[in-house]
């Protein structure tokens, strides 16, 4: 595919392969960011709010533990707006105006330079369940790059409508995961600006990264 | 970001700030000299767990790193 050979700068971070299987219930893609794993992890915890996260209403940490083998386990709870499609609002009036609660579990392994996340909704689950698994890993060949692989499973238990709901769920997931990547890149550039304000003895090679409000927010979507 | 418990946001931000500093300056650098944020986390949890109960958020029994497939839908 050659998608790992492309020199993608921070300005144009979201590129990857896209695969869909099983009647729109499975999604996966791979991205790479020209940013170190350490920086990406710092940004990961601080990515909200950002200009692409209007649908994220609240964020909490519910659990955090350092294991004896130095892995950091975390559980976060998010509230997101529930944007049902119009047709579903008519079919499921009881779901109207209810937020979606989302749990994001994660394991940071500093030995293998891997962050694995597992995210899913814990209400509206009969209508639709979206489970996402994401792995952020330092590129072994290029340590200043990070590879991000994402998989999602979308299912619905609504008899007779599950295919339509899954189709809707997949399309919303695609647009949200793109927002999530853009939000992460925004958080990265914000952190970078905070840690390295422009100075004479700064780090010239990294000056490629845009200020928070420029290129990364205006790039056209790759797929949606 | 705001906390799901309206009254917990200040406690959350205080904790987040402590955690983010610890994560960047200690954890990622391999320094395992203890967690300075424990007390803040306890106070924040006291608040947010109460809010979760009040709002009836179905978090109980959700398996870590696994989907709760067997749980009846909400």
User: Which residues are CB-neighbours of A24 under 8 A, at least 6 positions away?
Assistant: A154, A163, A166, A167, A170
Across the interface, whether the CB atoms of A62 and B73 are under 8 A apart is answered: no
Q: Nearest chain B Cα to A59, which residue?
A: B3
- Under 8 Å between Cβ of A57 and A37: no
Pick the residue with more confidence: A200 or B46? B46
What pLDDT shows up at residue A43? 97
Of the candidates A145, A144, A146, the one whose C-alpha atom is nearest the C-alpha of residue A135 is A146
Instruction: Report yes or no: A120 and A130 within 8 Å, Cβ to Cβ.
Output: yes
In Å, how far is A58's CA from the nearest CA of chain B?
5
- Measured between CA atoms, the residue of chain B closest to residue A40 is B24
The verdict on a CB contact (< 8 Å) between B67 and A123 is no
Kindly state the percentage of chain B with pLDDT values over 90.
82
Q: Residue B59 is nearest to which of A48, A103, A110, comparing CB atoms?
A: A103
CA distance to partner chain B, nearest, from residue A204 (Å): 22
Chain B residues with CB under 8 Å of A70 CB are: 32
Chosen from A58, A72, A115 to mutate, greatest number of chain B CBs within 10 A = A58
Nearest-CB residue to A45 (from B2, B23, B44):
B23
Q: What pLDDT does A94 receive? A: 67
Q: Are A153 and A119 in contact (CB under 8 A)?
A: no
Q: Taking a C-beta distance cutoff of 8 angstroms, is the pair A191, A47 a contact?
A: no
pLDDT tens digits, one per residue of B3-26? 999 999 999 999 999 999 999 999
* Closest CA in chain B for residue A68: B32
- Considering CB atoms only, which of A57, A66, A77 is closest to B59? A77
Per DSSP, the three-state class of B2 is strand
B28 in reach of chain A (CB within 8 A): yes
Average predicted confidence (pLDDT) for chain B: 90
* DSSP calls for chain A: --TTTS---TTS-----EEEETTTTEEEEEEEESS-HHHHHHHHHT--S-TT-TTEEEEEEEEEEE-TTSPEEEEEEEEE-----HHHHHH-GGGTT-PEEEEEEEEEETTTTEEEEEEEESSSTTT-EEEEEEEEEE-SSSTT-EEEEEEEEEE---TTTHHHHHHHHHHHHHHHHHHHHHHHHHHHHHHHHHHS-S-TTS-GGGGGSPPTTSHHHHPPPS--
The predicted pLDDT at position A172 comes to: 86
Q: How many CB pairs under 8 A join A and B?
A: 98
Task: Nearest by CB to A46, from B20, B57, B66: name it.
Answer: B20
How does residue B66 score in pLDDT terms, banded at 50, 70 and 90?
confident
Burial class (CB in 10 A: 0-12, 13-18, 19+), B44: buried
Taking an 8 Å cut-off on Cβ atoms, the answer to whether A101 and B41 are in contact is no
CA pair distance A166, A168, nearest whole angstrom: 5
% of chain A residues with pLDDT over 90: 49
Q: Looking at this predicted complex, what is its ipTM?
A: 0.90
Distance (Å) from the alpha carbon of B31 to chain A's nearest alpha carbon: 10
Place of tokens 């350092």: A66
The pLDDT assigned to B71 comes to 40
Task: Determine contact, residues A156/A127, Cβ cutoff 8 Å.
Answer: yes
Q: In b/e form, how buried is each residue of A204-213, taking b as 16+ CB within 10 angstroms?
A: eeeeebbebe
User: pTM above the 0.90 mark?
Assistant: no
Question: Would you mind telling me the total number of residues written for chain B in this entry?
Answer: 74
Residue ranges of chain A with per-residue pLDDT less than 50: 1-24, 202-224
Confidence check: pLDDT of B63 > 80: yes
pLDDT score recorded for residue A157: 83
């Amino acid at each position: 595919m050659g998608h790992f050979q492309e020199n993608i700068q921070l300005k144009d971070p979201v590129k990857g392969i896209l695969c869909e299987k099983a009647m729109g219930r499975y999604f996966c893609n791979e991205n790479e960011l020209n940013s170190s794993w350490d920086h990406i992890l710092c940004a990961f915890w601080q990515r909200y709010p950002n200009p692409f996260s209007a649908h994220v209403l609240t964020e909490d940490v519910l659990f955090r533990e350092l294991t004896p083998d130095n892995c950091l386990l975390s559980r976060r709870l998010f509230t997101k707006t529930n944007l049902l499609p119009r047709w579903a609002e008519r079919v499921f009036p009881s779901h109207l105006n209810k937020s979606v609660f989302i749990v994001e579990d994660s394991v940071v392994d500093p030995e293998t330079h891997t962050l694995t996340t597992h995210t899913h909704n814990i209400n509206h689950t009969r209508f639709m369940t979206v489970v996402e698994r994401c792995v952020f890993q330092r590129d072994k060949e290029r340590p200043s790059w990070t590879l991000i692989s994402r998989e999602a499973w979308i299912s619905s238990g609504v008899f007779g409508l599950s295919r339509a709901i899954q189709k809707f769920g997949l399309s919303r997931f695609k647009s949200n995961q793109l927002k999530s990547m853009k939000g992460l890149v925004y958080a990265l550039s914000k952190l970078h600006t905070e840690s390295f304000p422009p100075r004479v003895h700064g780090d010239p090679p990294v000056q490629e990264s845009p200020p928070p409000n420029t290129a990364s927010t205006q790039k056209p979507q790759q797929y949606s | 970001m705001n906390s799901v418990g309206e009254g917990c946001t200040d406690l959350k931000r205080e904790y987040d700030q402590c955690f983010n500093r610890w994560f960047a300056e200690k954890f990622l650098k391999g320094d395992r000299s203890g967690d300075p944020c424990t007390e803040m986390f306890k106070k924040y949890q006291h608040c947010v767990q109460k809010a979760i109960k009040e709002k009836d958020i179905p978090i109980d029994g959700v398996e870590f790193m696994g989907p709760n497939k067997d749980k009846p839908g909400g």
